[in-house]
Structure formats: C-alpha cells, structure tokens
Chain A
Amino acid sequence: MESSRLGNALFVVYLLFYVGFVGLSAFIPQVMEWRPWNGLNLAVLYGFGLILLAFFMAALYGYLRERKGSSNTP
C-alpha cells in the first residue's frame, strides 16, 4: 500500500505538469511564444521538460522503492 501511495503521489505531480502544458497550449497558446531561457520558447522548454521530468521521477521512484526494500512477488 505504501508503494501504491508513493506511485499515486508521483503520478499526481506529473499529471499536474502535463495538464498545465496541455492547458496552456489549448487555451493560452500565445504564452508558449515567451522565451524565458537562452532564446528558446516555452513550448520547446516545457516539452523537453516533461520528457526529462518523466525520467527523473521514474528514477526517483525506482530509488525510493529499492531503498525501502521492494516486493519481489512473482
């Protein structure tokens, strides 16, 4: 159940970022033209950010589960 809670919590965090991206693209698309870093627009940065965030959250989840001693149920 603890692993389920951890997974659900991380899922909700990622979901919020994803909903933010989709919502901005659909309803305030002009915001995506903003260039906050190194001349790159928000659409590119947010898109890459979502991909990298998925990887980091997956790695974090794996690390926390291993540290707590995961179930090896077949």
Chain B
Amino acid sequence: MIHDTSMLAIAIFLAFVGFTLGLSFYLGSRAKSSQGYFAAHGQIPWFINGIAFAGDYLSAASFLGICGMIAFFGYDGFLYSIGYLAGWIVALFVIAEPMKRLGKYTFADVLDANFHSRGIRLAAGISTLVVSIVYLIPQMVGAGALVQPLLNLPHWFGVVLVGTIVIGIVVSAGMVSTTWVQFLKGSLLVLFSAWLTGLILYRGLEVRSGGRDGHEFRNLGPFTAEQLQSGSLTGAGGQLCEVVPASGDWVNAPFVRLRHGSTGPITAWLRDEQSDGRVLLRECQTIATVDAQIWINGAPKGTKRGENELHPVGFLENLPTDAPSTGPLGPIAFLKIFQDSRVVLWQKQEIKSEEGRTIVYFPKSVEGGQVLLPGQSPTFAGIRSGRLVDKLNFLSLMLALFGGTASLPHILIRYYTVKDSSSARKSTIVGIASIGFFYVMTLYIGLGAMTSGALDISDSNMAAPLLARSLSEWLFALISAIAFTTVLGTVSGLIIASSGAVAHDLVSIGAGRSLSDSQKVRVAKIASIAVGAIAIGLGILFREFNVSYLVGWAFCVAASANLPSLILTLFWRGTTKQGIVASVLVGMIGSVGWILLSSDAFTSIYRLPASSAWVPFSQPGIVTIPLGFVTVVVVSMLTRSGRASSASS
C-alpha cells in the first residue's frame, strides 16, 4: 500500500523522539561511574523498574507483531501473548531473587558466581551477544515498517533512523536513560492501548464488502467449465474479459487471470468451486515484479491515473443477526459476536512464470469461531493436522516462549537496577501486571484491525497503527510515535546488555586483566556503536518477516543457550564450570544451527524449496533446550572431580 504522509503524525513523532533524546542527554550528565552506566547505581525504585520491565519487554514483536498476526490469522497470534506472559512466571518464581543476590552487571555474573572462570565469562558473553543480535533483528524490522506510513520513507530509512537514535541514547547515558525511556514507553504503550481497545469496543463490528478506500471486492460468475475454457467471459457491467492462458506456476494454481478489454490490465481471480460444479471467481490482489518494475493489480504501482495501489482489506462478511453493524459492545459481547460472524481473511501464494514473480493475495471466508481457535495461520496449521512433526513444532515454540523470558540478557540485567531482592520481586510483579493487561488487549486490537477495513495485506506488522488511523489521525500519530519509542526502549535495552557483556566479559578476558571503570564505559560505548551497526544491516536484510515470528527464534536461542545453565547453577550443586560452558555453547550453536537449516530459513532467507531443509521442523526449542540440560548434567558428572580446582581457575 502507498500511505499518505501525515504532518500531524510527523510532528508528534518528532516531539517524542526529541523529548526522548533530550531526556537521555540530561540523564547522561548524572551517570558517570561504571555502576551508573551499566546498572543505574542500583537505585531505581521498584515500581519504576516494574514498568520499565514492561517497556523493555513489550517490544515491536508484542505490539506490531502479535497484533498483526492476530489481525491476519486470529488466535494464533494470541498464542504468543500467552507464551510471552507465562515466561514471566519462570522469571518471578525461579530467577528474580537469585539474580539480584548473585549478580552485579551481566548475566555471566550469576553463572560465574561460584567459579570465577574465564571460560564461563567468555561463553556467556558470546551467548549474550548472539541472543541480543537475534532479538534486535525484529525490532529493527518493526522500526522500518513503522516509518513507511508515518514518514512515507523507505523501510531501510526507518531501520537506520532507529539504529542511530538508539546508539545516541545508549552512548549518552547507559542504563539510567534506558530505564527512564523504557518507563515512559511502557506507561504510554499500556495506556494508549487501553484507549485504542476502548475505541474498538465503542465502534463495535460492522459488515463491509471492502476496505476503507471504498473499493468493493467483486465476484464474477458462477461460470461453467465450458465458459471458462472458451477464452472469454462477461465481467462486471457486461464488459468482456479475455482469459489469459496459464504458464509456469499459473498452470496448477487455483487462479484465473483475466484481461479486461483488449488492452486493459490483467487481474487474478480465485477459482471457488461451487456445489453445482460451476466456478465462482473471487477478486484477488497481486504484486508482480516484471523487469525490476512493480505492478499492482495489473498496472504500474503508483497513485497517478493509470497506476494502481493495493486496496486496504479487513472486513466481516456477515453478523449473526444479519444486521449491518452492532454499535458499541462490551468486551465479552465483542468476542461472542465475532465468534458467530463470518470474516474474510487473506492468504497469499507466490507464482513464478516466464513473465516474472507474482504474489497473489486471495480472500477466504472463515467462520469467526474458527478464527478464535489455534491453527489458522500457516505457522500453526499443523496443529489441526495429524502430523506429529507439526505438533512438535508448535510444542517447541510454546516451550521456548515459556523458558525464553527468564533467559533474555536484556531482561535479566534489569534485576541489577534495583537495590535488593525484595525490590527485584516487587518490580517483577508490577511488570507481570502491566504486561498481562497489555496482552489481554492484544486480542481486541488484533481483531479490531482484522475488521477495520484498513489492513495492508502486504505488511502484517502495520496492522495496529493502521487500525489507529481508521479511528482517528491523532490516534494514528500517537500510536505510531509510541510504537517507535517501543522499538527505541527495547533496542536500547538489548544494546546495553550486549555492550555490558563486551565490556565486562569479553574484553576483560581478551585483555587478560580487569579494566578500569572508565575503560569499561568506553569499551561499552564503542561496542554499542558496533552492535547498533550490525542490527541496522540485519534489520534491512530480514524486512519481509513478521516480527513476532522472528522474536520466537530469539526466545528459542535464549532458552536453549542460557536457561539450562542458569537453572542448574542455581539449583544443582553438582554443576561444574565445564558443564556450564558446554551447555551454553551447545544450546546456542544447536539452536542457531537448527534455525538456519529449517524450512522457514530455506524458503524465506535462501529462497529455496522447503523440502530442501535439513531439519524436520522450524522451531528448535523442544530439542535444544533439553539438550542444554542434558549437556550440563553429563559434562558436570564427567568433570565433577575437578570442581574444586575449577573454582580456583
């Protein structure tokens, strides 16, 4: 879709960014020591820290990715909300207080508390870097997606903009400014999401036949097989359409292409077989790339006469009462009526032929009750099949989401910014309350977007901001600015976690001695710039992925690399330093390797057939998390006699 630039949105966006940077530079003048830079002097009040947890955790994946996934596929996106929140139970009941007791700056502090081992610091430092970078990718992708409708600038510009601003925030003041940015962002995100949810409920549900641009999606026919084979059909308004002969992938695809008039545009139509054997043709939308030029629905992309842009989508086909709209609804009634309605969802299929590559987006009418069940999206469709491998893929992701939260370095270091274990516990409870409240709202925001008539079918990540635009330009401006600060808050946390690991764990080992306070801060600032630059590059490379899906991978890597060693260090006295090092490396390499050899990576990154993948399913957690635990236990038992000596090495 081509989005209009909103001056209001730009003004509010610039005000938010300006305020955030101003705050960072102001706080920067108050954080001079290493303790201040990395852990905000351990003096952040527990309530502020709890909301900052929400600001740190509710990333682009939560706001843009989950809402987008729910808007496109329904309940499957909500599975992420459930899994993400459940992970906080591990953090609160198992990790929070020992983390505060045993650590000071980085995740490695806890693993290394009993051993003082360079090997543990090296492994944990590398793991922190890898997990943070994998987690940074979706944040940067989300930033790029936001800038497109907001500033009408290309995706890469948004990625570079976020990278540059965040590097500025982190370099200027470290954890102090990061905490306050996250507190602000967490508060605003929860409050404005509540407002957005209220407006969705007030608007209620309505039946439409197209999106908010006024285009009504048409059906042609039904036609008999003979009529389709005759080569010409009568379209809407009696216009004669020529059936374009199929070639390449079009031969076996469920679509018919029609040329309107003798020289008109070629459009794609879904063949919908009727019970009487005739075929109803349903209007699709297409993006074709021919000789490096982009064509939309059979005409060059653009807004001038003779050019086309994608039509917004997202509407209900009918309501249970056959009324055109419901009016304001309560939260229970909204879900109940949605469940008994029919909604039009859009799926896509890629077609290759000698003319070029075409992505066809085609409509599918689905009962609301089916949309509110797991298994509607391609990611989780296997749940409804009998294939064990597909079920394992689902179990694997849910395991990773459960275990991943308590293994994310940028979340773990937030336990060092409060003064004691009690504050760590209380701030986690505040975090759970605010994050849980937000995740309940994601279902309403996602379904609101699904029925808003404002969805961009080519970009699921934009569902929430475009929903806001369908309600009010002011709300769109505010939500976009908040979403942007959402990215800023999380990216700041990730970069500071990475730079802390470099300064405390990696460079100290490389230098063979402990660095002075000022050296650590300087190294961390240089590392922030380097990690930010890597994140910018990867954010541009992975632009086509749903951000929530990418975060699922980050959770898998974090849970596989960090969780087993962390849990067993805290609760099993037999753990040895060799066991910890082996577990971190095996979990990290195993999970990253699995992801890179999976069918999702083959199709989306390497552009190869899914059947070429080396591993049977895409989510590695169900294999690599237990593998991490087994590695700690086995290696520790094999090296146990050396524990006393290892503690002094």
Query: Which residues of A approach B to under 8 Å, CB–CB?
Result: 3, 7-8, 10-11, 14-15, 18, 21-22, 25-27, 29, 32-33, 38-41, 43-44, 47-48, 50-52, 54-55, 57-59, 61-62, 65-66, 70-74
Q: Name B398's contact: one of A22, A47, A52 (CB within 8 Å).
A: A22
Contact (Cβ within 8 A) B372 A54: no
* Max chain A Cβ within 10 angstroms of own Cβ: one of B86, B335, B433: B86
Judged by DSSP, the binding face of A is helix
Q: Which residue of B lies closest to A21 (CB)?
A: B82
How many B residues, CB 8 Å from partner?
48
Cα–Cα distance between A11 and B97 once the two chains are bound (Å): 14
Cα–Cα distance between A10 and B92 once the two chains are bound (Å): 10
What is the minimal beta-carbon distance from B636 to any residue of chain A, in angstroms? 21
Q: Which residues of B contact A58 (CB under 8 A)?
A: 88-89, 92, 428-429, 432-433
Q: Which residues of B contact A71 (CB under 8 A)?
A: 97, 420-422
Contact (Cβ within 8 A) A73 B420: yes
Q: Which residue of A lies closest to B385 (CB)?
A: A29
Cα–Cα distance between A52 and B419 once the two chains are bound (Å): 28
Within B340-360, the residues touching A (CB, 8 Å) are 340
Q: Name B335's contact: one of A15, A44, A51, A61 (CB within 8 Å).
A: A44
Q: Name A39's contact: one of B88, B339, B394, B420 (CB within 8 Å).
A: B339
Q: Which residues of A contact B90 (CB under 8 A)?
A: 11
| 24 A-B interface contacts by CB (under 8 A) | A11-B93, A25-B383, A26-B391, A29-B383, A29-B384, A32-B373, A39-B336, A39-B339, A39-B340, A43-B373, A57-B89, A58-B89, A61-B92, A61-B93, A62-B429, A65-B425, A71-B420, A71-B421, A72-B421, A72-B422, A73-B100, A73-B421, A74-B42, A74-B420
What is the minimal beta-carbon distance from A60 to any residue of chain B, in angstroms? 10
Contact (Cβ within 8 A) B391 A27: yes
Cα–Cα distance between A48 and B398 once the two chains are bound (Å): 16
Q: Which residues of A contact B198 (CB under 8 A)?
A: none
Cα–Cα distance between A50 and B394 once the two chains are bound (Å): 18
What is the minimal beta-carbon distance from B366 to any residue of chain A, in angstroms? 14
Q: Which residues of A contact B168 (CB under 8 A)?
A: none
What is the minimal beta-carbon distance from A70 to any residue of chain B, in angstroms? 5
Query: Is residue B81 within 8 Å, beta carbon to beta carbon, of the partner chain?
Result: yes
What is the minimal beta-carbon distance from A69 to any residue of chain B, in angstroms? 10
| Known A50-B85, A61-B92; further 10 A-B contacts with Cβ < 8 A | A8-B94, A18-B402, A21-B82, A25-B383, A32-B373, A38-B336, A50-B82, A50-B86, A54-B432, A59-B433
Query: Is residue B369 within 8 Å, beta carbon to beta carbon, of the partner chain?
Result: yes
Contact (Cβ within 8 A) A47 B420: no
Cα–Cα distance between A57 and B94 once the two chains are bound (Å): 13
Contact (Cβ within 8 A) A44 B383: no
Query: Is residue B617 within 8 Å, beta carbon to beta carbon, of the partner chain?
Result: no
Q: Which residues of A contact B384 (CB under 8 A)?
A: 29
Contact (Cβ within 8 A) B94 A52: no
Cα–Cα distance between A10 and B432 once the two chains are bound (Å): 15
Cα–Cα distance between A13 and B433 once the two chains are bound (Å): 19
Contact (Cβ within 8 A) A26 B383: yes
Query: Is residue B568 within 8 Å, beta carbon to beta carbon, of the partner chain?
Result: no
Query: Is residue B292 within 8 Å, beta carbon to beta carbon, of the partner chain?
Result: no
Q: Which residue of B lies closest to A49 (CB)?
A: B82
Q: Which residues of B contact A10 (CB under 8 A)?
A: 89, 93
Cα–Cα distance between A54 and B89 once the two chains are bound (Å): 7
Cα–Cα distance between A40 and B467 once the two chains are bound (Å): 24
Q: Which residues of A contact B101 (CB under 8 A)?
A: 73
Q: Which residue of B lies closest to A24 (CB)?
A: B374
The 7 A-B residue pairs with the shortest CB-CB distance in the complex, in nearest-first order: A7-B93, A11-B93, A39-B336, A72-B420, A58-B432, A25-B374, A26-B391
Contact (Cβ within 8 A) A54 B339: no
Q: Name B372's contact: one of A26, A41, A66, A72 (CB within 8 Å).
A: A41
What is the minimal beta-carbon distance from A21 to any residue of chain B, in angstroms? 7
Query: Is residue B38 within 8 Å, beta carbon to beta carbon, of the partner chain?
Result: no
Cα–Cα distance between A23 and B424 once the two chains are bound (Å): 32
Cα–Cα distance between A25 and B397 once the two chains are bound (Å): 13
What is the minimal beta-carbon distance from B575 to any residue of chain A, in angstroms? 16
Within B585-632, the residues touching A (CB, 8 Å) are none
